[in-house]
Structure formats: C-alpha cells, structure tokens
Amino acid sequence: MRRIVIFILFLLIFSCGGKKQVKVPSFEYTYTNQAFKVVDELRQAYQNKDNLGIRKNCSESAYREIIASIKPFDKAELEFTPVFAEMEADTLRLYISWNGRWSYIGKETEERGLAIFLMRGSPPKVEKIIRGNPFKYPD
C-alpha cells in the first residue's frame, strides 16, 4: 500500500511538471522598452553634459531644439518614470513623469512635470519633446 501511495505521488509530481509555452513579447512591448532605454540614455547624457550622447539618441531637429533649450548648470539629477505609451502608425508617444534637481552657483532648483517624447525609427530616436521639456531647466 505504501509503495502505491509513493508511486501515485511520484506520478503526480512529474505529470504536473512539463514544458510550458513561453509567450513571445509583442512588437509594441519591445519597441516601447527600447524607446524608454533611449530616453533614459538621453537623460544620462544630459546629466553628464555629453552632447554626443544627446545627438546619438535624437533626430537632428530634436538635437538642435534640446541643445538650444539647455540652461547652464553645475549639477543635474533627473528621474524619469514611464507613465503611458501610445503607438500610432510609425510614431510612438512616450509619456514620462519626471522630477529634477539642478544646482547652479550654489542655488538649488527643483521642478517636476510630464513630458511627451515623440519617437520614430528603428532603433527609436526622439523626434520632438511635445510638452514639459525637462531639459530647459533651471530657470
């Protein structure tokens, strides 16, 4: 009797385990993840005052717009949190909530907002920042 119970338990354990089907992520999901990585690289390049890093992740017009809006700072700390992504034909609108802290000549400035990054291409690049541009501070 004991052997039969052990055999049934053994059978149940191994019959329940098996290869599970792995779900492949959708194109929209992978593209959105790539887009957020690009925006995060842009954030890091801005904090490090790395113009080449900014240029690498933007279209030419977006690069010029960002560089023109940058104000001088000694130190910047930006935090980006993705909120929402909206995909249309060939564009992605990535909504990013941000908090920023800048220091310039001993003066600290804090701001926060919601930016919409319009992205296109493969790999995605920033085409335009529609509202709440985090790179135009400190005022």
Domain-located, residue 122: yes
% residues pLDDT > 90 (the chain): 71
In one letter, which amino acid is 53?
G
In a domain, 88, yes or no: yes
What are φ and ψ of residue 124, in 5° steps? -65, 145
pLDDT at residue number 19: 66
Does 11 fall in a domain? no
Domain that holds residue 93: 27-136
Cα–chain-centroid distance for residue 37? 4
Is the CB of residue 94 less than 8 Å from the CB of residue 128? no
The pLDDT of residue 14 is: 63
Residue 16: inside a domain: no
pLDDT at 5 over 60: no
Report helix, strand and coil shares of the chain as percent, to nearest 5. 40, 35, 25
Contact 101, 86 (CB under 8 A): no
Number of domains making up the chain: 1
